[in-house]
Amino acid sequence: MPFWNLSIGLGIIMLDYGEQPVRTETRPEGTGETYGARDYAASFTVASALTERFSFGLTGKYINQKIWNASGGVIALDGGIFYSTPLKGLRLGMSMSNFGGELRISGRDLDSTVDPDPDNENISDIPVTFQTGSYPLPLLFRAGLSYSMNWGSLGELMLVTDLLHPSNSTESVNFGAEYGYAGIFFLRAGYENTFEHDAINGLTLGGGIDYYEPGKSRIGFRVDYAYSDWGVLENAHRFSIGLIFD
């Protein structure tokens, strides 16, 4: 939408845990039944570049959690701003995630019967519905700063830092750097969750190839690799492949 410099996006994220056997105290090997669990979030995003230096975006999303026949959902909002400062190469960004209500699980799996007084034989199997507590979404505030230095034929170096203020943990800072050569080859390094209490992840390394020539080719490709040190959870290796269309 050129008149308003708008961009619109739709998204969905889902995590499915698969089918698991139902076990009870009296039948620990399983009852023959299975149950499933899954989480998903559907989102709608609107972003606008108000000026050449300032832009913002808003995302409305619906988050749902389900386990067997009980589920709950909540609506939340994400928002962010981006500012390219008059100082060449210096950029600022801030965002807020998961601003919304509280999530409560309900469903027929919470229906049951109880015997309120085992000594009274005239009262038994009273129908009840268990009430679960509600809990807020983990609210997260971020503030970021990046600075790019163009070294001409030697390439470009970008330094970045991120301040995170979550509602369910301690504050932390991320640091990172990216060196790019000819706009095609990239090397990256960083350190996550500095100052976070009981943090288990830290060092990150990676690299990538981004091959695309605007005006010369209508299609390009992007390949990225990242290594993360997760302490007691050992190492994580991530690979991604993407296509770029003109």
Smallest CA-to-CA distance from 75 within 102, 39, 46, 106 is with 102
pTM, two decimal places: 0.75
Task: State the pLDDT at residue 142.
Answer: 96
Task: State the pLDDT at residue 4.
Answer: 65
Task: State the pLDDT at residue 128.
Answer: 83
Q: What is the mean pLDDT of the chain?
A: 90
Task: State the pLDDT at residue 3.
Answer: 54
Return the minimum-mean-pLDDT range out of 55-69, 86-100, 196-210.
196-210
Task: State the pLDDT at residue 233.
Answer: 82
How many CA atoms are closer than 13 Å to the CA of 19, on its beta-carbon side? 5
Residue ranges per domain, the chain? 138-246
Cβ 77 vs Cβ 100: under 8 Å: yes
What's the pLDDT band for 241 if we cut at 50, 70, 90?
Answer: very high
Q: Per-residue pLDDT tens for 16-28?
A: 988 889 888 888 8
Q: Per-residue pLDDT tens for 150-199?
A: 999 899 999 999 999 999 888 999 999 999 998 899 999 999 988 888 88
Smallest CA-to-CA distance from 197 within 169, 178, 217 is with 169
Helix (H, G, I), strand (E, B), or coil: what is residue 158?
Answer: strand
Q: Per-residue pLDDT tens for 102-130?
A: 999 998 888 888 777 777 777 777 788 88
Residue 121 CB contacts under 8 Å (≥ 6 apart), including other chains: none
Task: State the pLDDT at residue 117.
Answer: 73
The CA-atom distances, in angstroms, between 81 and each of 25, 47, 70, 84, 207 are 52, 9, 37, 10, 27
